[in-house]
């Protein structure tokens, strides 16, 4: 490894070039230049660290037909910083790479952080599309407020997404091959020893080309109803996208996968009988012309895909209800499906509860498939967007 250290305005900037670390991720990494790790940002330091972008570059050298849902290092990331009590103002694109944090950073010690997830798609004519990025901005703001952090404005957020996607344009998969997953996050990057809000915050965006989230691809999921562990409780952070919501679920998820299941379906923590959500997505239940989904009452994340499917289903003539769904009602369901940015619309083939396996309708004639085709068509510019959901960026 060749390592270079430079100081900008009292802050440490590192750049790395390590062929071995990039080759282990993918052959695509061979085209990536040196990486920059940003210990802290001032306007001057970022301007010196950032480089020009080639927005007309060819596709990255990837096996596009074999994309999974894993991290592929791309060319650029976006970083913006501000101090406690202030507002985010100016951010910059920089080479993708490691960042340096103090061991006393608020995010490392107290989990002060929140993130979002969205995707960019490429049309046949080469134009790039974002899906409802303003909704991600609003949700990130709500999450940041809950975690006592500042957040970018909606315009700042959307502009940062546009810049990051355009800078990584060659990593957006060809039409039909996948999407560019976009991960915006905010963290307490400043040093804090006692329990308190951090003195400095970092807003960061990185991207990665992805295919299907589940190893099953588009095949139906097999869920396991978790009764021992809870995902969220009233008054907690289940209704926001805090980074602290996810690692506690790894034990239940790992155990379920070791038993051959795709994912875990959680029940409410109080009564242990009402459906809440799957580890990383919302859930819907279909019975005849009725589609039900648990209400977002503070313990359930208000998914943007969830919100969109509710509108699309109503447009298709379905009666959609948001309320309480007991686990016992599943036995009468015709279909079950999950929704989320990463998973899209995923049909559920079976749910196992207390040793009993319940199976549901899937396939081309399923309601979930109909809704999936409509949603994906809008996202990819194949179906006319009559709701103003699509933002074209180039």
Please tell me the distance from the alpha carbon of residue 357 to that of residue 350, in angstroms, as a whole number.
Answer: 6
Residue 241 is among the residues annotated as catalytic for this protein: yes
Q: Which two tokens stand for residue 290?
A: 């009725």
Strand blocks (E) in 67-112:
76-83, 91-95
Q: Which two tokens stand for residue 296?
A: 């977002």
- Cα–Cα distances (Å) from 223 to 199, 253, 258, 337, in that order, read 42, 10, 12, 10
Residue 317 has what DSSP assignment?
T
User: How long, in residues, is the chain?
Assistant: 394
Q: What is the DSSP string of 131-166?
A: E-HHHHHHHHHHHHHHTT-----HHHHHHHHHHHHH
Please tell me the distance from the alpha carbon of residue 349 to that of residue 61, in angstroms, as a whole number.
Answer: 36
Q: Could you tell me if 81 and 200 are in contact, meaning their C-beta atoms sit under 8 angstroms apart?
A: yes
- Point out the catalytic residue in the list 241, 287, 356, 387: 241
Q: Which residues are catalytic?
A: 241
């Amino acid at each position: 490894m060749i390592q270079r250290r430079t100081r900008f305005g009292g802050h440490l900037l590192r750049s790395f070039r390590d062929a071995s670390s990039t080759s282990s991720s993918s052959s695509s990494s061979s085209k990536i230049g040196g990486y920059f790790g940003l210990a802290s940002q001032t306007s001057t330091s970022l301007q010196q660290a950032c480089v020009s972008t080639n927005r007309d570059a060819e596709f990255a050298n990837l096996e596009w037909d074999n994309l999974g849902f894993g991290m592929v290092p791309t060319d650029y990331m976006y970083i913006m910083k501000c101090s406690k009590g202030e507002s985010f103002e100016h951010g910059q694109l920089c080479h993708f790479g490691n960042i340096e944090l103090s061991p006393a950073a608020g995010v490392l010690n107290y989990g002060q952080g929140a993130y979002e997830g969205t995707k960019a798609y490429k049309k046949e004519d080469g134009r790039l599309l974002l899906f409802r990025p303003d909704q991600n901005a609003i949700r990130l703001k709500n999450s940041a407020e809950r975690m006592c952090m500042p957040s970018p404005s909606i315009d700042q957020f959307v502009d940062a997404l546009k810049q990051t996607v355009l800078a990584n344009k060659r990593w957006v998969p060809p039409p039909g091959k996948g999407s560019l997953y976009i991960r915006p996050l905010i963290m307490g990057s400043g040093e804090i020893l006692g329990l308190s809000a951090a003195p400095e915050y970092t807003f960061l965006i990185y991207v990665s080309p992805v295919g299907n989230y589940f190893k099953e691809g588009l095949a139906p999921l097999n869920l396991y109803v978790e009764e021992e562990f809870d995902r969220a409780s009233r008054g907690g952070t289940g209704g926001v996208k805090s980074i602290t919501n996810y690692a506690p679920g790894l034990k239940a998820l790992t155990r379920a996968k070791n038993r051959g299941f795709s994912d875990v379906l959680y029940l409410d923590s109080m009564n242990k009988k009402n459906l809440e959500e799957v580890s990383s997505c919302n859930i819907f239940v279909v019975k005849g012309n009725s589609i039900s989904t648990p209400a977002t009452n503070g313990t359930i994340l208000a998914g943007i895909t969830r919100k969109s499917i509710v509108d699309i289903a109503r447009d298709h003539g379905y009666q959609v209800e948001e309320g309480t769904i007991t686990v016992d009602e599943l036995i009468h369901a015709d279909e079950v499906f999950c929704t989320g940015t990463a998973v899209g619309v995923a049909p559920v083939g079976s749910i196992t509860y207390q040793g009993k396996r319940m199976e549901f309708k899937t396939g081309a004639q399923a309601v979930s498939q109909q809704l999936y085709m409509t949603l994906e068509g809008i996202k990819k510019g194949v179906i006319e967007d009559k709701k103003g959901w699509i933002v074209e960026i180039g």
